[in-house]
Structure formats: structure tokens, C-alpha cells
Copies of this chain bind each other. A is one copy, B any other.
Amino acid sequence: VSTWTEHALRALTGAGYRRGGARRAVVEALGRQRCAATAREIEAAVHEGDRAVGRASVYRILEELERLRLVQRFDVGQGTARYERVDPAAEHHHHLVCDRCGRVMPFADPGLEDAIARLSERVRFEVDDHEVLLRGSCRACRG
């Protein structure tokens, strides 16, 4: 059980949500994910446990979690959204996407974050969040 799982369950309770079994199961599945997962992958992960959760509930719960900023949703361009927990303690990161095999990998870079922070100050726009995607070929695919 990761810290995020507890954190998220607490935040949900704090936000006035009741604790249904489906919600708990989805939160726990997200807590176990290594990197950005699709809704279907999360659904499958939930089903690996004893509990079965309807697909619609998975989407609804992910939407709530996103609104509470417990989860970040983003798209790597294959037409399928991906979801990833926002761990308040852990390092903020972005993603590398292999255009050949579709694999998604995380990376972190302080220099990049600095550049974005400076940029966010200058722009005539209130920046709440950002995403960076690097596309290319992973080691395995490059051979």
C-alpha cells in the first residue's frame, strides 16, 4: 500500500465522498501502477483482484480523481487517454513514448522544470500544469 493510496482515500473522504468499494478498488489499483496507464489497463488491474468494477465506474472515478488533482490525465497520441497518480511527495516527471512499440517511460529533469517555471511567469496566461512528451525510439526498438 503506497502513501499515495492512503493520501487519495483520505482526500476523497475529506471532499465528502462516501467510500464505495469500487472507488477504493480503483484507487488501490492506481497506487500499484508504475507509470501512466489507460483506463482499460486500470480496469484490468482492478479485475485481477477479487473485486469486479464496471467500466463506467472506472471512468467516473478517474474523472473525480482528476478533478481532485489526485490523478493526472494525459494523452500520448494513440487516441487513448492515460492516467497517472499525482504523488505529492514524489518527484514530478514526464514521459518518453516509443513510436514503434508504444511503450511509455517516465523521466525527470530539473533543467526542464526550471525552463518551464521561468516561462510560466512570462506568458500572459495562468499556467496551472504542464506536460512534456518526448517521442522517438526506445533502446529495444532501435536494436
Interface of A with B (CB < 8 Å)? 73-77, 79, 81, 96, 98-99, 105, 107, 109, 111-112, 114-116, 118-120, 123-139, 142
Contacts of A119 in B (CB 8 A): 107, 109, 111-112, 134
B127 and A130 contacting across the interface, CB-CB below 8 Å: no
Contacts of A99 in B (CB 8 A): 128
Besides the known contacts A75-B77, A107-B123, A129-B135, 13 further A-B residue pairs in the complex with CB atoms under 8 A apart = A73-B77, A75-B79, A77-B81, A98-B125, A105-B125, A107-B119, A111-B119, A112-B112, A112-B115, A124-B139, A125-B136, A127-B135, A131-B131
Contacts of A131 in B (CB 8 A): 131-133, 135
Q: How many copies does the complex hold?
A: 2
Instruction: For A130, give its contact among B79, B118, B133 (CB under 8 Å).
Output: B133
Instruction: For A125, give its contact among B96, B112, B124 (CB under 8 Å).
Output: B96
B111 and A134 contacting across the interface, CB-CB below 8 Å: no
Contacts of A137 in B (CB 8 A): 125-126, 128
Q: Nearest chain-B residue to A129 (Cβ)?
A: B135
Q: In whole angstroms, what is the CA distance A74 to B74 when docked? A: 11
Contacts of A116 in B (CB 8 A): 112, 132, 134
Q: Count chain B CB atoms within 10 A of each CB in A98, A112, A120, A125 and give the residue with the most.
A: A125
